[in-house]
Structure 1
Amino acid sequence: MATVIDSQSVKAAETVSKATRGYDAGKKINGRKRHLVVDTRGLPLMVILTPADLYDAAAAREVLFRLRLAP
Structure 2
Amino acid sequence: MTVLTKTPQEIDHMDEREVAELAARLELDDYPTPFEALQDWHLLRAIAFQRQELVEPYWHLLDIEAYDES
TM-score of the pair, normalised by structure 2: 0.28
* Higher RCO (CA 8 Å, separation ≥ 6 residues): 2
Q: Which has the higher helix share?
A: 2
TM-score of the pair, normalised by structure 1: 0.28
